[in-house]
Structure 1
């Protein structure tokens, strides 16, 4: 982690701004003639570090990632914008929704960010240091990561477009908890993201580098817009036909996109988001069950009770009574 902190100091010397600490992390913020931005290093154990880069640069900017004497892997995911990476004589462009994975030891990787544009990256570094591995799960994860990504020739791997990884990384930025809970949540998301990277790499190899979902980057971004619209207003009477027209996708591609991103159909996703809203209303509002049913877009109370029980293992009425009893006893 010290190397990551040293890198942040380098950014501070070049870009200016100020470094602060929060929950053991270090945060650089700058707003000057070089641009505006925020870089945060998150302190994790077991040889894993995580850094977020959210930068608006006025000019092109280069920085290096160091591969330690111990074998290391860098997972550089581009959430927004694009960048060019160089290792030795190999230089390639990485676009939004792609990960480049580069590994080795005693080597340097150069990242070039474009000026006059927004660059939003998340970088996970994994160092194979046996003394840092604290349990068998971490050991198994390390073994799979290095077996999958660290080739004898040291060539980097650039993944096809993957929106699911972006969704996971954004969850880290949305964490509001502090202390141990925050650290455990971040560790869990980072480990899950690394597992997704392994699965995605295997899919890429099976499909010979072609996008397995048959969706372009633009189409995936439209799916993301549709998902976010439903999350913001799940009670709206959506249909697959209307969503297809709204986001310029065929019904087949719309369904395929939801399966790629959310692992379910459009209809099931809408239903689940409505149930999440129903639970929130039961906990926070004074509405009765019938009022909640109609406010979230359902027309049948019996149907709502059935799917609510399937998800929460109790009836809506029992859930409501339990919430109110807890409030009265508090």
Structure 2
């Protein structure tokens, strides 16, 4: 039996808009709000949320499964790890947290769709080819790649006004990615991720490990050992979520960090090579030019010239 909880015990909340607003639904007509919610449910409980009348509520689950229920249909479904839903048209939704579950999710509330650009009030219905708002409650397959944008969005500092542009950009990317995911589902409804929820969580942990330890020597065997996943499962997860093999993902992430170091530091090419976990400058120059169409030295010169 679920008990209603008046508040969600939010450890961290980042809110964007004209005034501080809690997790409760906004009455503001000019804001986009982002809230990260993380807590342990000691009892089975639920929280009722309402999407804005002319806006949108996005719920992205980052941890244990959460049950959700539409009040208009009474149907109950599971929102698994790295799944999300978009709720429109002033609808009510119950989020249901099981006893002793660890909950971690992100809420994005857009008071008016016009805040995002040239969207019409019924744009979701048109994109989802649906006559009913309930049909927009598409959870889809787990999407770890989309979670990268969610984490970036939650980490924005609301005290910096320039982040308002990033807020709009990330929100549009998230909605666009969700619509693209739905279109893929329409074209291939039988496609499923051949991974259990705990395996998906471990793949996400591997991705976080790569991001935090890219300067170390990394390979498939090391990640398999840390995650207790077979090489086949690990490669399957990376291909499903990023369209890359494990080694390709590591290489691309290192190149992104190298490009960032070129823009933000005075390190020379040799120093950058070692700082991203590589040992061969010639190999680095080769793969960097393949990605950015300039040699590392030419890229640094071009960037410094543009800054000057």
Assess if the C-alpha contact under 8 Å between 1:57 and 1:115 holds in 2. Answer: yes
Cα distance in 1, alignment partners of residues 251 and 151 from structure 2 = 23
Assess if the C-alpha contact under 8 Å between 1:104 and 1:150 holds in 2. Answer: no
User: Which residues of structure 1 form unaligned runs of 5+?
Assistant: 1-9, 29-38
Normalized per residue, which structure has more strand? 1
Cα distance in 2, alignment partners of residues 98 and 20 from structure 1 = 21
Q: Which deviations, in whole Å up to 9, do the C-alpha atoms of 1:47-94 show, x marking residues without a partner?
A: 965544333444444332235665x65432221233332224322332
Counterpart in 2 of 1:6? none
Q: Does 1:118 align with 2:102?
A: yes
Cα distance in 2, alignment partners of residues 287 and 153 from structure 1 = 53
Assess if the C-alpha contact under 8 Å between 2:18 and 2:31 holds in 1. Answer: no
After TM superposition, the score normalised by the length of structure 2 is: 0.74
Q: 1:66 to 1:209 in 2, by over 3 A?
A: farther
Assess if the C-alpha contact under 8 Å between 1:44 and 1:187 holds in 2. Answer: no
Cα distance in 1, alignment partners of residues 189 and 146 from structure 2 = 20
Normalized per residue, which structure has more helix? 1
After TM superposition, the score normalised by the length of structure 1 is: 0.70
User: Which entry has the higher C-alpha Rg, 1 or 2?
Assistant: 1
Cα distance in 1, alignment partners of residues 250 and 9 from structure 2 = 44
Shift of 1:205: 4.1
Q: Which has the higher contact order (CA 8 A, sep 6+)?
A: 2
Aligned residue pair count: 300
Question: What do you get for the CA RMSD once the two structures are aligned?
Answer: 4.2
Assess if the C-alpha contact under 8 Å between 1:23 and 1:178 holds in 2. Answer: no
Residue pairs, 1:51-66, within 5 angstroms: 51-66=35-50
Residue pairs, 1:170-181, within 5 angstroms: 170-176=151-157, 178-181=159-162
Q: 2:63 aligns with which of 80, 83, 95?
A: 80
Cα distance in 2, alignment partners of residues 112 and 150 from structure 1 = 26
Assess if the C-alpha contact under 8 Å between 2:15 and 2:35 holds in 1. Answer: no
